[in-house]
Amino acid sequence: MTTPPLVYLVAAERSGELLGADLIRSLRKARGDSIAFAGVGGAAMAAEGVPSAVDIDGLAIIGWIDGLLAWRRVKERVALTVADILERKPDVVVLIDSWGFMLRVAQGVRAADPSIKLIKYVGPQVFATRPGRAKTLAATVDHLLSIVSFDAPYYTEFGLPVTFVGNPTLERMPVGDGAAFRARHELPSDAELMLVLFGSRPSEIRRMYDVLVRALARVLAHRPALRLVIVLAEPVKDVVREKLAAETRLPDNLIIVEEAEKGDAFAAVDLALATSGTVITELATTGVPTVAAYRLGWITWALIRLLNVMKSPYTTLVNMASDSNLVLEHVQTRCTAGRLSASMEGLLEAPQRRLEIGQALRQATDDMRGEGRASDRAAEVVLQYLPDA
């Protein structure tokens, strides 16, 4: 009996494993059960029948200092992942996002068994910061699947094949039913709703929860009728629920929902306050005017400023792609309760401006989507590296 080709996927955080789950579905659609899968990931990939060979808890890391603090844990998980890949000897390994972790896995596999093909899915944002990573990646993997249309030249210069597939995040969000959401939660059709997303990484909750709550409390002091809709990201939902249960600065009538209701919640709200990340792109696809906030560790931030690492004036992908401040960004020193609340109140007081921003966000993400079918296009590339593809 012929052994089916094996695709091994590695994802170290929530946004990456969602891409992995999408890719698994597309590969199965193309080749049925004639492909075997294994990998490292979380609940979304496990739901597709690919349980994780390595625990990814604690690997969602942003910033140099957090990386140093987690170095022993990361090194251990890298070694376990490389060992599992070498034992299974897949035909192709797809390394999804998470630059530092995936680079170390790729280097470990390449050094031990150069015959295993390596595909990086989502490149580091070399158009915004640290362009030298393009050369490093080109020396390490066989192909890059890019989710943005304008970064290919950075990599092809060093001989790395690049395929722009588009961003599956732009296709993943269902058309939500805002009216149904309001009905389910007994909210009047004219109730003013603010969506709140605290983040999906434990480090984001530690850094962002308090400043976001203080900003919300300021807005509520002026607009007591405003209702808050809080969507809990799966990896941190228990931590956030616990914090909210003990919270005294916010009203008791919070609407707290899990990711299954995200699409309907997005369709129901007037505005969002969100920790910057993949969710900002999701909000943009549905035209939700958004105030985005982010804080790195202060030492990491100081190093970024000292070394002039950031090359783009923007931090969110939507703003980079549109070269405009459609998403109101508040990063590090500008991420204060006063600045955040002022941005929120400014938008709440300007319904016409919100409408215009929403339309511009939809247009920007339409332009970013490319030809669509991002996961199917990614699957087509992966299939090229499999026998009998």
pLDDT tens, 336-368?
A: 999 999 999 999 999 999 999 999 999 998 878
What pLDDT is recorded for position 216?
A: 98
Q: What value does the mean pLDDT of the chain take?
A: 90
What pLDDT is recorded for position 344?
A: 98
Residue 386 and residue 389: Cα distance in Å, rounded?
A: 5
Contact 70, 61 (CB under 8 A): yes
375 shares a domain with 359: no
What pLDDT is recorded for position 15?
A: 86
116 shares a domain with 199: no
What pLDDT is recorded for position 270?
A: 97
365 shares a domain with 375: no
Contact 141, 165 (CB under 8 A): no
Report yes or no on 272 lying in a domain.
yes
What pLDDT is recorded for position 233?
A: 92
Residue 27 and residue 383: Cα distance in Å, rounded?
A: 8
Report yes or no on 377 lying in a domain.
yes
Report yes or no on 109 lying in a domain.
yes
Residue 161 and residue 134: Cα distance in Å, rounded?
A: 12
Report yes or no on 238 lying in a domain.
yes
Give the domain CATH number at 335.
3.40.50.2000
**Overall domain count for the chain:** 2
pLDDT tens, 1-12?
A: 578 999 999 999
329 shares a domain with 282: yes
Helix axes 337-348, 202-222, angle to 10 degrees: 50
Per DSSP, 95 falls in state E
321 shares a domain with 263: yes
257 shares a domain with 140: no
pLDDT tens, 102-160?
A: 999 999 999 999 999 999 999 988 876 677 899 999 999 999 999 988 889 999 999 99
Residue 215 and residue 210: Cα distance in Å, rounded?
A: 9
180 shares a domain with 152: no
154 shares a domain with 87: yes
122 shares a domain with 63: yes
184 shares a domain with 156: no
Range of the domain at 43: 6-166+370-384
Give start and end residues of each alpha helix (H) in the chain.
14-31, 43-47, 64-69, 71-88, 99-112, 133-138, 152-156, 169-172, 178-184, 202-222, 237-245, 262-268, 278-285, 298-306, 317-322, 337-348, 351-369, 374-384
Report yes or no on 1 lying in a domain.
no
pLDDT tens, 154-211?
A: 999 999 999 999 888 888 777 899 999 999 999 999 999 999 999 988 889 999 999 9
Contact 181, 268 (CB under 8 A): yes
pLDDT tens, 47-64?
A: 999 999 998 886 655 554
Report yes or no on 389 lying in a domain.
no
Report yes or no on 315 lying in a domain.
yes
Contact 212, 294 (CB under 8 A): no
Residue 57 and residue 324: Cα distance in Å, rounded?
A: 35
Query: Is 80 exceeded by the pLDDT of residue 310?
Result: no
Which residue type is seen at 270?
D
Residue 183 and residue 348: Cα distance in Å, rounded?
A: 22
Report yes or no on 123 lying in a domain.
yes
Residue 203 and residue 315: Cα distance in Å, rounded?
A: 18
227 shares a domain with 209: yes
255 shares a domain with 152: no
Residue 115 and residue 64: Cα distance in Å, rounded?
A: 32
Residue 282 and residue 365: Cα distance in Å, rounded?
A: 9
Higher-pLDDT residue of 136 and 323 is 136
**Dihedral angle over CA of 19, 21, 23, 27, nearest 10:** 180
Q: 276-294: b or e for each residue (b if 16 or more CB lie within 10 Å)? A: bbbbbbbbbbbbbbbbbbb
